[in-house]
Amino acid sequence: MKLRYTKQALRDLDSLYHYVARDDPNAAQGALERMTAMIDHLPEHPALGLRGRLPDVLELVVPNLPFIVVYELSQKTIDILAILHRSRRWPDQL
């Protein structure tokens, strides 16, 4: 399966990194690496996430981080739609 990131998901990763890096660049790099390592497992294990709050999406909880990777499956692709902080209000749509 092919892994694709939406523009929103890339912006979310960039925002996450820069927000954490203001206080601790090493922690920001570590968080980004853990996040992308989890996402990189999805092509081998596409059903790793749980059924999402929105229709037709799955949510991958990243261990030891307060973030959820929201993604959508099709026959040939996994689309990373967004990376959301657990404490933020959930969007009505992505």
The pLDDT tens digits of the residues spanning 50-62 come to: 888 888 899 999 8
How many whole angstroms from its chain centre is CA 70? 5
The pair phi, psi for residue 27, each rounded to 5°, is -65, -40
pTM of the shown model: 0.88
- What CATH number has the domain spanning 2-85? 3.30.2310.20
Distance between CA 88 and CA 77 in Å, rounded? 27
Give me the pLDDT at residue 92, please.
62
Residues of the chain short of pLDDT 70, as ranges, are 90-94
